[in-house]
Chains A and B, each alone.
Chain A
Amino acid sequence: MSIFVYLTIYASLIIFFVTVMYKITDYLKKPLHVRWELYPVAHEGKKTSYGGGYLEETDWWDKPRPKSRLGELKVMIPEILFLKAVWENNRKLWYASFPFHFGLYLCTMFMALLGFASIGMLLGLSKGSLILSVVFAITNLCGPAGFILSIAGAAGLFYKRLTDPTLKDYSTFEHFFNLGLFIVTMTFALLTWLLVDPNFNVSRQFATNLISFNLVPIGSSLLSIQMVLIAILLAYIPLTHMSHFFMKYFLYHDIRWGDAPNIDSPSTNAKIGIVLNYPVTWAAPHIAGHGKSTWAEVATFNPTADAEEKKE
C-alpha cells in the first residue's frame, strides 16, 4: 500500500511538470500573432496610472520606451493574491473565490515548507535550529488555515454554482467534480491534521522519505489516502481550465500587455516572413479561387476586377 502511495505521488509530480511544460512550450512555439493589447498596460510607468501608453508621444519610435517591471508586479500581486478583478467586478463571487484561492496558496506554501524542512534535515540541519523552528511554526499555521479556507471557498463556490441562476447554466459536471475533489482532498488533510498529525511531523517524515526515495511504510492510512488524493489533484489541475494558474502569465504578458512595437526588428521581421508564407485555405470567394496560396500572395492581391484592370 505504502509503495503504491509513493509511486502515485512520483507519477503525479511527473504528470504535473510534463503537462505544465507541454502547455507552456506549446504556447511559446506558436507563430507570431498580431498585437491585441488592452489598456491600462501595467508596464507603462507613470502613464499606467491613467491608462496611457507610449502611443501618446509624437515620433514614439524614436523615443525610449522603458518597461516598468515594478508596474507589472503592482498589478499582478494584488491580482494573484487577492483576486482584485473579482473583488471589483463580482463581489458576491469573491467571498467564495478568494478563500478558495488563498487557501490553495497557503496549501502550496505548506507543501513547500514541508519540502524545505525535509531537505534541510537531510542536509543535516537540526530540528531545534532557529531556521527550522521558524519553518515548523509557519507550517503549523499555513496548513490548517489553507485546508479550512480552501474547503470553505470550494463549498461556497459549489453552492453558488448550484443555486445562483446566473452561474447554474454555465456550470458543468466538471465544475462540480473539480470543486468536490478539492473539498474531499482538503477534508482528508484536515482530518489527518486533527486526528493523526497535529504538528505535521508525520507528514514531514513522509516528505523526507519521498525526497530521499526511502520508501518505508507510511503508518497512517488517513495520511495515505490524503497523499493519494493530493497526487490525483496535482496531476489533474493542469489538464483542466485551472491551468490558468500558470497560463495567465501569457494571457497578461503576451496578449493584454504585449505592446512591443516592431521597429524594423530583425527577429520580428523574420517571424513576419514565416507567417506571410503560410498557406491560406479560406474558402470564401473573395479569398479563394484566384490561384493565390500564401498569406503574402493573398494579402497583396486585389479581388475586385476593376482594380485589377486599373493595375494592368
Chain B
Amino acid sequence: MSKTKDSLKINDVSKDTEKLASVDPEDLMPLPGEFEEGPWGEIPAETREKYACILDDTCILPIPLPKTKAEEDDLVRKFLSGMEKLFSKENNWTFEPMLETSMEHCAKCNTCAEACHLYEASGRHDMYRPLYRSEIFRRIYKKYIKKESLSDWRNGPIDLNWRTVARLGELAYRCNICRRCAQTCPIGVDNALIAREIRKIFSQEMGIATPELHDKGSMLQLKVGSSTSMNGLVAKDNVQFIDEEFSEETGYEFSTPWDVEGADILLIHNAGEILAWPENIAAFSIIFQAAGLSYTLSSDLAAYDSINYGVFYDDVQFARTAILQAQAAKKLGVKKIILGECGHAHKALTVIADRVLPPGLQIPRESYLPTLRDIVLKDKIKLDPTRNNFPVTLHDPCNLTRLMGIIKPQRDIIKKICPQFREMHPHGPFNYCCGGGSGYAIMSRNTIPEWRAKISGRKKLEQICNAFSECRGPEEKYVAAPCSNCKGQLRDMFERYGLLEKEGLKYGGLVELVVNAMVDVKPGFISWEEE
C-alpha cells in the first residue's frame, strides 16, 4: 500500500513496497473554475521493468532497477561514495560550505512547508514537505558519512538500502529548485540546494541523470553547440529565415548580426526560441536594431544557446558550458554579454559562473531587462500602448527575481506599454515557480506531463486565473513570461486545459509586447490565432 497524504513517515522510504506514496487526484488543491482532473495514468511496463519507478505515480530519474543483491548493494555503495565526495572541499568546493551549514542547522520546524507550491498543490501531501527529502539525506549523512556517535538517537534512525537510495534520487526530482522554501527558513537552511546536491551525486558519481538534461541536454550542447541539435550553421540559417519571414510580416526590415568582431554586445538566446518561439528572436532583433545597439550573435559551440542545464544537476557540465560561452565572447572582443529571455541562463552565466570563470574570461554579463527598460523608458523606439490594450499579467521567473533580484525593470516596461496590466499575487521575489523549473519544462516521458499539470504547475495556474478573475472567459488575455522554460511549462498547461479557447489565454515573452506596441511595425505582432 502506498502512503496517503498524512500517513507518510520518514522511514517508509526504505520499506519494501511497490511505491512509497500516491497523491489522490481528489486531494489536489482545487483550481478556480472547471478543470477536469483525471487519474495519474500508468507508467509503461517496459519503463517499470528497466527503471526503479518505486516512488509514486511517475518516474523521472532513470535509475536502473537492480536485479540482483550485488546490484542493489552496488547502488548503495556508489551513492555513499558520491555523498562522501559531496562533503569534500576538493570535489565540491562549489557548494560544500552551503551544503554543510544546511546539514547542521535545520531545526526541523517545518516552517518551510507552507511556502512550497508542490506541497500546497498536492493537497499537503507529506512527501512534498521540503524537509522530507532533506531529512532522509541528512540522516544518511550523519550516520554513514559523518559517522556521528549515537546518530539514531541524535538525528533519528534511517535504514539505508537500495530503495532508500532510489527513492531519494527520485525525490530530488520532485522539487523545482525554486528556493521559495529557503526564503521562509528562519535559519537560512536551503532545502532546494539539498535537492540539487542529491541530483549531483547521481550525475557526477553514478552517471545517472535525466536524458533531457544530460544526453539530450548538456552533452548535446557540448557536442553540437545546442540542446536543440542545431549546430552553429543551422542556427544561423534558421535565424536568417526568421529575419526574412518577420521582416515581411511586420513590414520592418531587419537582419540579425552574427559573429561581428568588436560589437559592443554578445546577445545569447535560448536556442529553443529559434524553433519554438521564433517571434521572440525576431522581437529582440527588431528592438535592438531599432534602438541602434551594436550587438552580435555568435555561432561558436554553445554560444548561440544560452541554456546551461548543468545548473539543475551537474557542476562540471555547468562549468564546461559557461566557459565555452565566455570564450566565444572573448573571441569576438565584445564589451559585455547580454542574456535573452531565459531565466536559468541568466542565473547560470551572470551569478553562478562569477566565481568559476578564470581571469581573462570574466567578460561582464547582464540581463537584457535593464537595457530593454532603458530603450522603452527613454523613448528610443516609438511605442503606442493602445496596441496592447488587453489584460496582461506578468509571470516572474524564479531565476530572474528570487535568485537575481531583477524585479523592477520588467514592471517599468510593462506598465508603460500595457494599460491593462495587473500583478499576480504574490509576485516579485515571492513569486511561485511556473512548475517547469529545474528542467521539467522539457520533459514529457511517461506520466511526467500529469505531474507537471497536477502538481508542479498547479499553483501558477491558480495565480493566472486569479489575476484575470474579473475577465474570465474567452476574452483575449496575455501572460508575459520572460523565460523560455516558463513558456514551455505554460504552453503545455494551456494546451492541456484548452485555455486558449476557453479563457483566451495566450502566453509569450516581454519583448513581443514591446514589438506589438511599436508604431514602426504593422499592428498585430501578437495574435490569438491558433498556430
Contact = CB atoms under 8 A, between A and B. Distances in A.
The yes or no verdict on A and B being binding partners is yes
Interface in B398-445: 401-409, 428-430
Given A56-B370, A85-B186, A248-B188, A170 B316 contact: no
Interface in B50-99: 78, 81-82, 85, 89-91, 93-98
Contact of A85 (B82, B184, B224, B408): B184
Contacts of A300: 320, 323
Interface string A149-173: 0000000000000000111011111
B205 interface: yes
B355 A40 contact: no
Given A55-B406, A262-B355, A286-B316, A275 B93 contact: yes
B186 A79 contact: yes
Interface in A263-288: 263-264, 268-269, 271-273, 275-276, 278-287
Interface magnitude class on chain B = 35 or more
Contacts of B323: 299-300
Contacts of B205: 282-284
B330 interface: no
B6 interface: yes
Interface string B368-383: 0111001000000000
A34 B409 CA distance: 26
A152 B184 CA distance: 25
B111 A261 contact: no
B97 A56 contact: no
Contacts of A285: 207
Nearest to A28: B97
B2 interface: no
B366 A89 contact: no
B320 A302 contact: yes
Contacts of A286: 207, 214, 219, 316-317
Interface in B349-367: 350-352, 354-359, 362, 364, 366-367
A250 interface: yes
B108 A167 contact: yes
B223 A51 contact: no
Interface of A: 27, 30-41, 44, 47, 50-61, 79, 83-86, 88-90, 93, 97, 165-167, 169-175, 241, 243-244, 247-248, 250-252, 254-256, 259, 261-264, 268-269, 271-273, 275-276, 278-287, 295-296, 298-307, 310
A36 B193 contact: yes
B354 A35 contact: yes
Interface string B463-477: 000000000000000
Contacts, number: 266
A56 B222 contact: no
Given A27-B97, A304-B222, A38 B403 contact: yes
Interface of B: 6, 9-10, 78, 81-82, 85, 89-91, 93-98, 101, 104-115, 129, 131, 135, 153-156, 179, 182-190, 193, 203-207, 214, 219, 222-224, 301, 316-317, 319-320, 323, 336, 350-352, 354-359, 362, 364, 366-367, 369-371, 374, 401-409, 428-430
B429 A298 contact: no
A306 B224 contact: yes
Contacts of A57: 370
A149 to B, nearest CB: 18
12 contacts: A33-B95, A47-B407, A50-B408, A85-B184, A90-B111, A255-B188, A276-B358, A278-B90, A278-B93, A280-B91, A281-B90, A282-B85
A165 B109 contact: no
Contacts of B135: 170
Q: Interface centre among A39, A262, A305, by most B CB within 10 Å?
A: A39
A295 B154 CA distance: 36
Contact of A287 (B316, B336, B371): B316
